[in-house]
Structure 1
């Protein structure tokens, strides 16, 4: 494993801080189950052999003590196994929950400026599949490896007490099966694991784009080409998984062979001693079965360490994004929230990257509190970029942008976003009910407030006419609603938010004349008393503005 792999491994262990109590309990229970199972098998072998000899005229046997011990070990193994599964899975699920929250908290500052460079499907794959893959590390690598470190010395001590030679044979076999094979499996699984993690994210992104853009791809005649691209990715993923399966088979076969070899080695050194009377026949049976059962402690390690390669590749994908630098930094000493809500820009300069030309250059404007500035201009002039500065989605490099006399970049992003409401031509609707989409703006709003907002947006009558009313599902990205209904639902959401700053980005784009008029009437009510920036190239929409500013 390279240095980066070890660093990611230590980081994964560090993220488990706070769950070590559950993890330690899981390790102790796992080690206890291994020892109970090994003792059960060895004692059962001894007991059966001893009973057989006693039945053929051999030495007498106290039946009750070993029978009671066997029953006790069986109960201990069954209850221990159940409790161990309960504890280790609970610890793993708690940790995965913690990891998802940790990852999301690091993703949030990256939106939208950094995340927009990523493919949606790949982001989803990192958030779900890659973090799920880390379950392998905690549940199948960390806990079993720690349990083996506890159980193996105790097992070898027992064997050394019974037969030092058998203990040496078992120790050699466990070194091969519990150390050499896992390291070999890790080497075999590292490259296909990296490929599988990357291709799984790429395939998820390919399929997301096919599903979202199916109609456009079909019309453009590009669907076959994109499907072929996704199929190529799927075949590469399948090939990586095939290599993983082959490696698992090879290491598993070598592990089984090692266990059988140790069994025969134990028989070879103990049977002569039994023939000379130094060991009894039941002792030979017990030693043979103890040798074989001892491999349970390490049986799952080669496969787990092979999967560790893919787990570390998934961890690297998660850490790469989590460690990305946000496009803007929060102020070290935030200014107090403004008491008034007029806007002033002076020599404003904004660019997307240091090596790119400015999108906004030397921009100046003033908007009084409650006023509306219409912004128009050709595509690419920076209209939407200007709107993104107020909620701190992006930063400006020089000049000044003030809200109520307070420099925008000196205010926390959360404060600014709490002061802004947005209605855009692509306002996102979540695949849930109308009610839930509205409650995003104001989670504690009751049905009366929701209906009032819909009424102001001229949408109430249409919603009440739907069979499920407020509980009507809007579909993926609002697919169950018309374009005008989607836009007015976004306006209703803005009414509920009751923000002091209103940002309108092409709010009537793509609507027919009648629907546009209804939306504009709703927007006219919405902008009353709110400082508004309206981006549009449509004359009807620009009539809402007190003043029009043209970007070029």
Structure 2
């Protein structure tokens, strides 16, 4: 029920629009009842050949009910869908607001296809919340009371017949369908999520699947999941048809019950014969309010299952604790780790173990070491993607926890080993770093990253699209585009996490020359397994299993003949 309370809280701000939609829906059904009842009354009166003037009011009534039904139904659809789309927009906003603090730490174990399914499919399912879950019962109750009072004006027993039929069709049938469809809604949500995940995995890994001949195997897996989903959808379709048939049968029984009672009343002189058809067809028409009720439990189950999947993510605890207040003013751009310890899981080994170092303002430090030594963990902590378990990290004389994550990231320009490019133009991908950058600034940043000449060689220049994930670019071009972003951002702190990965040796030296110029006047941290150019660093730290095992300048570390010297020799062999 927690998920439903969350959804109701999102709906309540629109209660005025909701009330208007319910009234309009009730008026639309009332117009339908009035149209059928007035038509039956008109035919009965006309059979007696009265003067035409005696029929004028009824004729006008038929026309009014016919037109008003269309008008009220249009307005009801307009208002109810307006409410639905407003609620969906709120759900999307709440979901993204809850999701953003979780990235990337809490999303590592969430498959991209499943995440996409939650963002799209699970949110879209909530469009049924008002239209097919909340509105139909309220409208049915309003129609029951409204038309029941009308019938009571002729004989209260008509109202009892209507109430009994509404009770059976509006409560008994939905409960029966609920029992037959138990669990189908949840299974459909789960199967849709699994199908989306499988399709996304197949599309993202298409190249590898083709190379290793696994396409047919994955397509067969998708087909099996699709068949399971179709089976559940067919079951719901069958139950929907059954519920419609049963509701129609109850409607016809209600019509016959009103007719039988009406005939007896006509014979006793307690009811005019011309009113008999009006009451019977009016009763039959009132069942329009009951047809949507049968599948309310199914849609409710779907909505709850989808909402629980959304809440499962957005109610997760972020990996870091934010102060929630205003960030302090940094006294400088120095960085300091003071006996910092960190691990990714409570039972995992320490990624960093009592790490201590300091980079003064405008200083240049490199961290090297074998894979798994903890180099990237340093970057993750500085960018507030994770929070450390012990010790303290200072930025500008203040604990990094005192800053908001956005402010910390605003101080830092970073090039990571894995560069994500959006399916947009080169210009748009560059403007992520500085949305209000001028054309000259874009060109200068691209020139510094040795990318400008390549951009000019493309048909549309800076307006050329890079494709999904930048697949139209080579690995080196993607990396240079990431470097250009850092040049454009021009942040006071520079972090390079394997920034030269994917570059050929010649381009690597050219880009490194530009980066060294960018380092001037900035606090710089270089994370790398490549030792090229590290002689220009003020200090080099050698990590192994999260600990500093060596530190010093390039020449000093080579003379010590330890791990750094071993890495240097290994690199020299492969170069």
Of 196, 205, 210 in structure 1, the residue corresponding to residue 202 of structure 2 is 210
Of 166, 173, 177 in structure 2, the residue corresponding to residue 174 of structure 1 is 166
Of 480, 483, 494 in structure 2, the residue corresponding to residue 502 of structure 1 is 494
Query: C-alpha separation between the residues in 2 aligned to 1:534 and 1:221?
Result: 40
1:3 corresponding residue in structure 2:
none
Query: C-alpha separation between the residues in 1 aligned to 2:268 and 2:53?
Result: 22
Cα displacement (A) at 1:541: 5.5
2:434 corresponding residue in structure 1:
442
Output the TM-score relative to the length of structure 1: 0.94
Cα displacement (A) at 1:201: 1.1
Q: Please give the per-residue CA displacement for 1:330-371, whole angstroms capped at 9, x wherever unaligned.
A: 125565131211111121100112222211002122212222
1:132 corresponding residue in structure 2:
124
Query: C-alpha separation between the residues in 2 aligned to 1:188 and 1:46?
Result: 41
Of 19, 22, 47 in structure 2, the residue corresponding to residue 24 of structure 1 is 19
Query: C-alpha separation between the residues in 2 aligned to 1:502 and 1:39?
Result: 74
2:461 corresponding residue in structure 1:
469
Matching of residue 433 in structure 1 with residue 425 in structure 2:
yes
2:299 corresponding residue in structure 1:
307
Query: C-alpha separation between the residues in 2 aligned to 1:463 and 1:7?
Result: 52
Matched residue count: 544
Query: C-alpha separation between the residues in 2 aligned to 1:544 and 1:403?
Result: 23
Query: C-alpha separation between the residues in 2 aligned to 1:518 and 1:46?
Result: 92
Of 291, 315, 337 in structure 2, the residue corresponding to residue 323 of structure 1 is 315
| Change in 2 beyond 3 A, CA 1:221/1:533 | farther
Instruction: Give SS of 1:302's match.
Output: helix
Contact 1:186 1:309 in 2 (8 A): no
2:348 corresponding residue in structure 1:
356
1:259-270 alignment runs, 5 A limit: 259-270=251-262
Cα displacement (A) at 1:185: 3.1
Matching of residue 241 in structure 1 with residue 236 in structure 2:
no
Contact 1:337 1:415 in 2 (8 A): no
1:68 corresponding residue in structure 2:
60
1:71-110 alignment runs, 5 A limit: 71-110=63-102
1:15 corresponding residue in structure 2:
10
Contact 2:265 2:271 in 1 (8 A): yes
Q: Please give the per-residue CA displacement for 1:108-132, whole angstroms capped at 9, x wherever unaligned.
A: 1111100121011111111111111
Cα displacement (A) at 1:547: 2.3
Cα displacement (A) at 1:429: 0.6
Contact 2:483 2:499 in 1 (8 A): no
Cα displacement (A) at 1:256: 1.3
Cα displacement (A) at 1:204: 1.0
Query: C-alpha separation between the residues in 2 aligned to 1:462 and 1:332?
Result: 44
Query: C-alpha separation between the residues in 1 aligned to 2:300 and 2:489?
Result: 47
Q: Please give the per-residue CA displacement for 1:136-192, whole angstroms capped at 9, x wherever unaligned.
A: 011222123222222220111111212322221111111122222233334444401
Query: C-alpha separation between the residues in 2 aligned to 1:510 and 1:232?
Result: 39
Query: C-alpha separation between the residues in 1 aligned to 2:521 and 2:118?
Result: 43
Instruction: Give SS of 1:43's match.
Output: helix
Of 20, 26, 33 in structure 2, the residue corresponding to residue 38 of structure 1 is 33
Output the TM-score relative to the length of structure 2: 0.90
2:550 corresponding residue in structure 1:
none
Q: What RMSD over aligned residues (CA atoms) do the two structures have, in Å?
A: 1.9
Query: C-alpha separation between the residues in 2 aligned to 1:260 and 1:165?
Result: 17
Cα displacement (A) at 1:471: 1.2
Q: Please give the per-residue CA displacement for 1:63-98, whole angstroms capped at 9, x wherever unaligned.
A: 211111222222221211111111111111111111
Contact 2:325 2:404 in 1 (8 A): no
Contact 1:188 1:306 in 2 (8 A): no
Of 34, 42, 45 in structure 2, the residue corresponding to residue 50 of structure 1 is 45
1:399 corresponding residue in structure 2:
391
| Change in 2 beyond 3 A, CA 1:541/1:208 | farther
| Change in 2 beyond 3 A, CA 1:165/1:243 | same
Q: Please give the per-residue CA displacement for 1:472-511, whole angstroms capped at 9, x wherever unaligned.
A: 1110000111222211111111122121122211112233
Query: C-alpha separation between the residues in 2 aligned to 1:371 and 1:187?
Result: 70
Matching of residue 481 in structure 1 with residue 473 in structure 2:
yes
Cα displacement (A) at 1:266: 1.5
1:273 corresponding residue in structure 2:
265
| Change in 2 beyond 3 A, CA 1:542/1:47 | farther
Cα displacement (A) at 1:406: 1.4
Query: C-alpha separation between the residues in 1 aligned to 2:234 and 2:203?
Result: 27
For structure 2, the 5+ residue unaligned runs are: 545-575
Matching of residue 523 in structure 1 with residue 518 in structure 2:
no
Query: C-alpha separation between the residues in 1 aligned to 2:536 and 2:451?
Result: 20
For structure 1, the 5+ residue unaligned runs are: 1-5
Instruction: Give SS of 2:105's match.
Output: coil
Greater mean deviation of Cα atoms: 176-185 or 207-216 = 176-185
Instruction: Give SS of 1:70's match.
Output: helix
| Change in 2 beyond 3 A, CA 1:529/1:223 | farther
Instruction: Give SS of 2:387's match.
Output: coil
1:455 corresponding residue in structure 2:
447
Matching of residue 546 in structure 1 with residue 542 in structure 2:
no
Contact 1:441 1:496 in 2 (8 A): yes
